[in-house]
Amino acid sequence: KYLKDDEVSQECMSLLSTLPSESGWLSKKLYKYQGFWHNARQLQGVISCQKYFQPQDTDILLVTTPKSGTTWLKAILFSLVNRTHFKPTKGDHPLLTNNPHTLVPFLELKLYIDGQTPDLSSFASPRLFSTHLPYVSLPKSIQDSKCKLVYLCRNPKDIFISLWAFTNKLRLQEMGTNSIEQVFEKFCEGVSLYGPFWDHMLSYWNESLKNPDKIYFLTYEEMKEQPNLHLRKLADFLGCPFSTKEVEEGMVDDMLDICSFDNMSNLKVNKEGKLPSGESNNAFFRNGKVGDWKNYLTMEMVERLEKICEEKLVGSGLKF
């Protein structure tokens, strides 16, 4: 189902025919909408979500560039905001039997996919949602509301390798695999899901500087290096700080343990389960390391990507 990217409404078809398009990594085509690349089905979800999503001030929205650790942060945010109901050390924790994408749904890729208008009345407050939408395409209602955004991105060299591996895993066998060279070119040109990655990152970076109480900007590398510190800062930012008692009892580390790559990737649900949209849960767990690009990229590729990052991010204060 994931791959039937051209099954869209007549209205969406008319829009697509006006947009620039390129061949995709997974889907047949990517379309450029509001400056960023989407596949057709997803674009229908974007438009529906822009029209109909009504945020509540207490909502928490996780925004990420694809392959930046979305699955990990979904797990962390879920366990953080639900910690009074579900202690991370308890055997009945929902993360032990559910993939994080089930617990924290994507707006445009799940709830509003195919132009649906979901009934969100069963979501308890604070509602937790996620999106890959660039800032310019966020529903205006989100930009205007008091809801909080956690933004996560990652070193583009690792994003690229993770995305290359992920899309090859999800491609139908008869489509064959994409060579690293084929998709590297596209990535550098900004033609990847929700790309250009630099514009995605920069817009949230700049917004987070303007409005640090609304957007918490975080990288995968920072989270890997100082998980305890960032989890406590996230709790402060979201208005649910850890109490001294919780810290003394080891709650922060317990939460990081249940959400760790080793724990999550070895759970039955993540080894054998599938999402309703068809992706195997294990596709979201590869090796979870910083710097794996060193095993794949040539010197020329590294230089090219680093040059792009330098040129695009110059003067912003954001560096990889």
Q: Which residues 63-122 are close enough to bind ligand A3P by CB under 6 A?
A: 64, 66-72
- 231-232-233 Cα angle (round to 5): 90
Say how many residues touch ligand A3P, by CB under 6 A: 21
Could you give the C-alpha distances from 253 to 54, 79, 168, 216, in angstroms and in order?
34, 12, 34, 21
Contacts of 222 (CB under 8 A, 6+ apart): 230
Closest to ligand A3P by CB, 41 vs 67, is: 67
Residue 302 half-sphere exposure toward CB, CA atoms < 13 A: 9
Beta-bridged to residue 274, according to DSSP, are 280
Q: Min. distance of Cβ 314 from ligand A3P in angstroms?
A: 26
Closest to ligand A3P by CB, 258 vs 318, is: 258
Q: Min. distance of Cβ 70 from ligand A3P in angstroms?
A: 3
Residue 199: left (phi > 0), alpha (psi -120 to 50), or beta? alpha
Q: Min. distance of Cβ 198 from ligand A3P in angstroms?
A: 17
The answer to whether 105 touches 196, Cβ cutoff 8 Å, is no
85 is annotated as an active-site residue: no
Q: Which of 38, 93, 132, 200 is catalytic?
A: 132
Closest to ligand A3P by CB, 107 vs 264, is: 264
Q: Min. distance of Cβ 83 from ligand A3P in angstroms?
A: 17
Residue 288 is a binding residue for ligand A3P (CB under 6 A): yes
Where are any strands of DSSP class E within 139-214? 148-153
Neighbours of 60 (CB within 10 A): 25
Residue 169 is a binding residue for ligand A3P (CB under 6 A): no
Residue 133 is a binding residue for ligand A3P (CB under 6 A): no
Please identify every residue annotated as catalytic: 132
Residues in contact with ligand A3P by CB under 6 A are: 64, 66-72, 158, 162, 165, 259-261, 264, 284-288, 292
